[in-house]
Amino acid sequence: MKHRFQHSRFRIIPAMVSLALLSALFVTACSREGDESTTTSGSAINTPTDSLTREPAVLSTAEEFTVAINTVITAHGQTLTVRAESLTTSVKALDSAIHRFLSDPDTESLSATRTAWQLAHAQWLDFNDARFSYAAYVGEDQPFADFEEEIAFVRQWQFIIDASPIMEGFLDGIEGYPDSGLVMDQTLPLNDVTLRAQNGITSDEEICLGFHPLAYFLWERTPGDFSAGSDDISIQRRRQMLITLSALLTKDVDRFLQVALNLEQIAIQAFEPWEKQRLLFDLLERQIDQTGLIQRPDSPGFHPDPQFMEFSQPDQAARKNQLLQLINEPVMLSSLMHKLNPQATINFLERLSALPVSLPEDSASEDTAPDESGGEAVEGTEEPVNGVKALKNLVRFFQTAQSDD
């Protein structure tokens, strides 16, 4: 049996921050470089690619380009390390909250444990949303050609830690099937070996590791299902299941972070400047997708689980903040963008701020994915989907923009 509640097909996401805030931060970035340029005001520019070839790059040498790229990508690496530390701390806090709940199961301790789960999972999403994507960089003559094993590990352990949706009846007895699940199967010891062997054994929804099995027990079960000192074997096994799940999650997140951070450092230290440029602007495009007006079922970060019905808005607020941290402080990608093409950067910030508060569900369709056309504004007002397309077209321009050397 799958989770009973599902998200609607599309999410409605709040608007991006105001142009005034973006422009102010951008002007600050420019002034740090000693440039006198300022941003313009007014309506969004209808044809963002018009000025891409007219405006000369501020960077004058390949050496300056390399320094600028390295400054930005190093700042990104530092922010990712901070996010990894926050994730580690929050997962350990979740483990502690679970043990406190089991020592005295009641509604108050259960509520505190749910909150700890939500925070830990938000930190997990925050870290993964900020990582570079390696999909386009594996294979012969690609930057990550020698690290395919590590990349495969990261993908595998993302599934282990955050697989969803899950089959509730695989974990425990459910309505109509009270004797189903690992908890009720007394022939299986609920230890590390058993859970790793059973995870995804015949289906990707037969999940007994990671965040979402924990969420099932925290949201779909009552404190009485975990009574301390009970003689009921199913309650004893359910308690053991919760302890084992939490301990494995802590270990798995730590193992995942070691490999993921190592891959990031390889990119920061060993990649050529143009490869780093691609990585940074690929990340920017992905974060625009994740923070955009529409979240599709196949989009990165889309979660159909019922728990996210409570937590989707804080999650999206964090993603908007993450996008701003990439563009402005502490990473300051906008500073590099300005050096590559000042006018295109102004266009980008104006388009970003022009996105509307929400997009009605009935205006979304299968052909709304951004493409290379960029779209055109209607009567001076940015169409929502075309606005996203235009943003992504500008990002793709910056992926290959070079300095004059």
Q: Nearest-CA neighbor of 198 among 217, 171, 162?
A: 171
Residue length, the chain?
A: 405
The residue written with tokens 């299986």 in the block is 188
Q: Is 331:68 a contact under the CB 8 Å cutoff?
A: no
Detail the DSSP E strand segments found in 235-386. Answer: none
Torsion of CA 338, 342, 345, 349, to 10 degrees: 100
The residue written with tokens 């996401």 in the block is 13
pLDDT at position 258 over 70:
yes
Average pLDDT over residues 232-255: 97
Higher pLDDT, 48 or 9: 48
- What whole-number distance in Å separates Cα of residue 347 and Cα of residue 173? 56
- Look at residue 64 in the predicted model and tell me its pLDDT: 87
- What whole-number distance in Å separates Cα of residue 95 and Cα of residue 103? 13
Q: The whole model's pTM is what?
A: 0.75
User: Which tokens hold the place of 388?
Assistant: 């996203």
**Of 78-82, 124-128, 150-154, 386-390, which gets the smallest average pLDDT?**
386-390
Average pLDDT over residues 335-352: 87
Q: Nearest-CA neighbor of 130 among 300, 244, 373, 5?
A: 300
pLDDT at position 302 over 50:
no
User: Which tokens hold the place of 347?
Assistant: 């266009």
- Write down the architecture of domain 19-400 according to CATH: Up-down Bundle (1.20)
Instruction: Report, in angstroms and rounded to the nearest whole number, the Rg of the chain calculated over CA atoms.
Output: 24
Mean predicted lDDT score pLDDT of the chain: 75
Higher pLDDT, 345 or 359: 345
